[in-house]
């Protein structure tokens, strides 16, 4: 980030960040591939993005909206599981984290407050 911004003096949008998770797998403390791990990884990214938003980061695009099938391999857990929703479009823990985050950012970014999120939007 620092080198890019220093060199080009252009705002930055961070894209494709996240972590694989197996829907329904929970662990405390967070273990790799648990829903808690995915949420913890996102929180770490968000801490940096929030700091840099004060300087030059103007957006973020999580990878990915929903899980999707890919070729099986040692780096894949039966497909690409970085989605905040399952392939059946059911929310994982990270979906709720991002819902709160984006409402907060939206309310900080505009002069009027958005209404409270619809409880029917996510179960």
Residue 60: helix, strand or coil by DSSP?
Answer: strand
* CA pair distance 40, 33, nearest whole angstrom: 11
**What local confidence, expressed as pLDDT, does residue 79 receive?**
85
Distance CA 111, CA 101 (A): 17
Q: Ramachandran region of residue 39, left (φ > 0), alpha (ψ -120 to 50) or beta?
A: alpha
Which pairing describes strands 57-62 and 12-17: parallel, antiparallel, or unpaired? parallel
Whether this model's pTM surpasses 0.85: no
At residue 110, does pLDDT exceed 80?
Answer: no
pLDDT digits (tens, 9 = 90+) for 31-61: 999 999 999 999 999 999 999 998 999 999 9
Q: How far apart are CA 36 and CA 94, in angstroms?
A: 8
Residue 64 has pLDDT above 80, yes or no: yes
Q: Please state the separation of Cα 41 from the chain's center in Å.
A: 8
Structure tokens at 74: 């040692």
Domain segments of the chain as ranges: 1-6+17-103
Residue 121 to residues 14, 36, 82, 91, 96: CA-CA distances in angstroms?
A: 26, 21, 21, 10, 10
Whether the per-residue pLDDT at 121 is higher than 80: the answer is: no
Q: Tell me the mean pLDDT in the region 75-85.
A: 85
pLDDT for res 21: 92
């Amino acid at each position: 980030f620092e080198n890019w911004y220093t060199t080009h003096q252009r705002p930055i949008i961070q894209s494709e960040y996240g972590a694989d998770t197996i829907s329904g797998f929970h662990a405390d403390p967070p273990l790799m591939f648990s829903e808690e791990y995915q949420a913890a990884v996102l929180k770490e990214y968000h801490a940096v993005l929030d700091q840099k938003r004060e300087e030059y980061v103007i957006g973020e695009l999580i990878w990915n909206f929903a899980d999707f099938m890919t070729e099986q391999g040692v780096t894949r857990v039966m497909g690409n599981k970085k989605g905040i929703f399952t392939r059946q479009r059911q929310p994982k823990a990270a979906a709720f984290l991002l819902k709160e985050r984006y409402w907060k950012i939206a309310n900080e970014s505009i002069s009027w407050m958005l209404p409270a999120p619809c409880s029917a939007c996510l179960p």
